[in-house]
């Protein structure tokens, strides 16, 4: 499924390789570690291996079960990545037996709790693009400024859908009884890919609608949409690219509670100030549904899953996020463009990269 970009520039011709020199990730913890407790928290740097492979290695070295090792999130295999893991303090001495050139322990902390999935603020990223000419460097700077101001669509990245891009189809077949998967983790992963696919389809539609609201006047939009003029007026006067619709489920950003958007004039100002964001539906019985106009549009994308909705828990996901562009620099002599940025948890650096390049990362 081709995700719709929201920026309007032509594709940028550069070279990118996901390796340990040009793709670096550093996890940002959710909180400071207490310094006391029965758990040992390790900041670990790994190279060219998955988080699961790293955890398995620690399990073998320490002589503990994989489930005894806590981690906050999964990091890419390709590249140089650092993240935090937790083990029981009683295994600290055995860490001296770790001998793997792909793994290095950078720091140690004590803490009272085991790390769990989601216990992170997000990640800092560093990317280096090569074979960048001055014209494209200028284009990259301009796009990064737009994203710094407006934010970006929080699509699920290609990693969720597999090399053959069919993970969501397997998940759908499992849900509708056309395929069986005995491994619970694999089954849940395929089903999550199906939920992610529906979310991406919906978000691409909302980006398309926002493009239209930004491109046409009230009279032209009245011909395109069968909505009351008062609603169209309240939408097009919003001063952000992504438009909030009546009945959207908003959420305080980056933390807080969800709520229904009923006053667009108020919520659009908060959205512009990056105080709130809008969420999208991940199908499931426990997921809150949008109402009003937003609910009508959302319903078009979740009708298919209604028959199996009770087989999924569901949730809502940020549809729009606000990356922090930390730094960027063009090195003309080397034809390199280097930039760093922060993304909240659950977001994909490759999605940001594809937005600025208007190219799929898999195409490199």
Domain boundaries, the chain: 23-121, 130-151+323-363, 153-321
What's the pLDDT at 361? 80
- Angstrom distance (rounded) from CA 86 to CA 71: 6
Q: Catalytic: 300?
A: no
Strands 276-282 and 315-318: antiparallel
- The topology (CATH level 3) of 153-321 is Pseudouridine synthase (3.30.2340)
Domains 23-121 and 153-321 share a fold: no
Residues 6+ away with beta carbon under 8 Å from 103: 44, 45, 46, 47, 49, 54, 57
Q: Given 2, 13, 68, 76, which residue is catalytic?
A: 76
Where in 30-102 does DSSP place strands (E)?
39-47, 70-71, 80-88
The pLDDT tens digits for 341-357 are 999 999 999 999 999 99
Contact 341, 125 (CB under 8 A): yes
Domain with residues 23-121, CATH architecture: 2-Layer Sandwich (3.30)
The pLDDT tens digits for 265-322 are 999 999 999 999 999 999 999 999 999 999 999 999 999 899 999 999 999 999 999 9
Residues 6+ away with beta carbon under 8 Å from 290: 247, 248, 249, 281, 297, 298
What's the pLDDT at 41? 96
What's the pLDDT at 116? 93
What's the pLDDT at 50? 92
Tens-digit pLDDT string for the chain (364 aa): 578 999 999 999 999 998 999 999 999 999 999 999 999 999 999 998 999 999 999 999 999 999 999 999 989 888 999 999 999 999 999 999 999 999 999 999 999 999 999 999 999 999 999 999 999 999 999 999 999 999 999 999 988 888 778 899 999 999 999 999 989 889 999 999 999 999 999 999 999 999 999 999 999 999 999 999 999 999 999 999 999 999 999 999 999 999 999 999 999 999 999 999 999 999 999 999 999 999 999 999 999 899 999 999 999 999 999 999 999 999 999 999 999 999 999 999 999 999 999 998 876 5
The number of angstroms, rounded, from the C-alpha of 297 to the middle of its chain's C-alpha atoms is: 22
What's the pLDDT at 363? 61
Half-sphere exposure of 301 (CA within 13 A, CB side): 24
What's the pLDDT at 1? 57
């Amino acid at each position: 499924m081709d995700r719709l970009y929201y920026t309007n520039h032509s594709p940028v011709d550069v070279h990118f390789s996901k390796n340990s020199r040009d793709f670096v990730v550093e996890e940002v913890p959710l909180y400071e570690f207490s310094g006391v407790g029965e758990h040992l928290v390790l900041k670990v740097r790994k190279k060219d291996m998955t988080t699961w492979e790293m955890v398995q290695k620690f399990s073998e070295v320490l002589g503990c079960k994989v489930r005894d090792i806590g981690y906050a999130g999964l990091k890419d295999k390709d590249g140089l990545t650092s993240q935090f893991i937790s083990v029981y303090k009683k295994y600290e001495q055995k860490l001296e037996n770790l001998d793997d050139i792909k793994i290095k322990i950078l720091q140690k902390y004590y803490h009272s709790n085991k790390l769990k999935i989601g216990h992170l603020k997000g990640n800092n990223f560093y990317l280096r693009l090569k074979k960048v000419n001055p014209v494209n460097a200028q284009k990259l700077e301009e796009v990064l400024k737009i994203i710094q101001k407006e934010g970006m669509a929080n699509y699920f990245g290609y990693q969720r859908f597999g090399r053959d891009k069919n993970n969501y189809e397997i998940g759908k077949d499992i849900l509708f009884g056309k395929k069986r998967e005995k491994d619970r983790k694999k089954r849940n992963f395929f089903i999550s890919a199906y939920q992610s696919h529906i979310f991406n389809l919906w978000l691409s539609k909302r980006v398309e609608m926002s493009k239209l609201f930004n491109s046409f006047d009230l009279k032209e939009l009245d011909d395109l949409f069968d909505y009351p003029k008062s609603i169209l007026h309240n939408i097009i006067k919003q001063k952000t690219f992504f438009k909030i619709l009546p009945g959207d489920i908003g959420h305080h950003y980056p933390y807080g509670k969800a709520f229904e958007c009923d006053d667009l004039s108020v919520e659009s100002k908060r959205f512009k100030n990056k105080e709130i964001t809008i969420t999208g539906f991940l199908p499931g019985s426990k997921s809150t549904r949008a109402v009003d106009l937003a609910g009508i549009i959302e319903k078009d994308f979740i009708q298919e899953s209604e028959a199996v909705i009770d087989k999924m828990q569901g949730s809502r996901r940020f549809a729009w996020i606000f990356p922090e562009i930390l730094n960027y620099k063009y090195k003309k002599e080397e034809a390199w463009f280097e930039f760093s940025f922060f993304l909240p948890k659950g977001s994909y650096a490759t999605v940001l990269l594809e937005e600025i390049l208007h190219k799929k990362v898999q195409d490199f």
